[in-house]
Structure 1
Amino acid sequence: MQETQRQILHLIFSAKKEISDRQIVEKLGKDLQEVRFHLDELSEGGFINLLSDSTSTGDFYLAKSVTPRGHMVIKGQISLDERINSKSSSQTFQITNKAPIGSQQFGNYNTAQINQNIGIDVTDILQIIEDLKKSVNDIPLDNQEIAVGCLATIEEEVIAPKPSSKLKAALFGLWSVTKDIVTFANAVTAIADRLNINLPGLG
């Protein structure tokens, strides 16, 4: 089963664009329902971004992209057994406008440690980054490019075998352009706490 899921994961990655369940069936020669089952499994495991719905003409599945966790599977850094799902206590960071800057709005997490070199669990950091990418439009246009670049660097560094000084620099850069936006400030503070990094102005 995992071999089929790995094939699908690599196919979505290599497509570099959205790919439908029927296109996957065509390329892999698998049954449609089998492909949909594996897409659901990959999505629930946190490895792909999947859009699925039912319409008057039938169900449709559209694999949009591979998530940071999916990239880690492809690189051999984690296995498909290391899933994020509703039965685990892993959490998704909830971005909200109602909390004060600096508050942390996340539940308990209990996932396998991924990056032994920096001694922390990066699973929820990757999820926070993924959520922030979806909210980049909340940042003033002049700073959006900076934020996107910083997020990309943070993502690369936390999954690297040996993170460099770029990690702290990128986090400081992201903080400097988002600290006055509550939704981002809460999330960036959470990332800094996970990494044991003190943000400027927060003591």
Structure 2
Amino acid sequence: MFSKTWLVVFVVPVLLQGMFAYRDDFFTPTDVLFRQTYGLPFLYHGGMWSDVFLFAPLMAYIIDTHGGTWEWKLLFIALAFGLAASYAMHMYLYVPGGMKIPEAHTHDGMLTTAGWIHLFYMTAGIAVLVLFYLAPSIHSPAEVWTVSGLLFLHFVIGTHVPFKIWVAIRNPIWYPTGPIVDLPTAFTLGGLAAALIGLSLWATR
């Protein structure tokens, strides 16, 4: 089962982020070079492409398949947790990162309009995942582990690993070269992998 309505709900915010990145002159490499010496333009942010082609369809599938079993009380709790987690992630990880390497979602020490849209987008995404793994529902092991595998792939793309491989090969003047997987990225991906394994074991217990 697959909900086209929920697919649209999760794709439209990404398109809005692109629109505001364009208005903010952070959409293409040319925009970045015009504004400053380096940065990550929206079009080259792999996480945004993954949001459209991987994360949004995954959210639509989960909601269509399991959303009917979620209680309203659990939904509000999951949304509150999602908002707190997303806010912390954006303010304490994204904003400091944007001061080192500016990007469409955060530069000059603050979230842009695109960044705020992404904050609420991830609020919804985190809430859906909390409910998928923790709310009472019927899951097959194959379903749970497939979802977890796709999520980890999304995290790898979102932490710019494929993009940094491309940077190492092409050396674009608008983005600095560096390690493909630095220590913070390794810790992030390791922690996310451990969390996904733990949640998958819980959901299939």
Q: Identify the TM-score tier after normalising by the shorter chain.
A: 0.3 to 0.5
TM-score scaled by length of structure 2: 0.32
Structure with more relative contact order (C-alpha pairs < 8 Å, separation 6 or more): 2
Higher helix share: 2
TM-score scaled by length of structure 1: 0.32
Higher strand share: 1
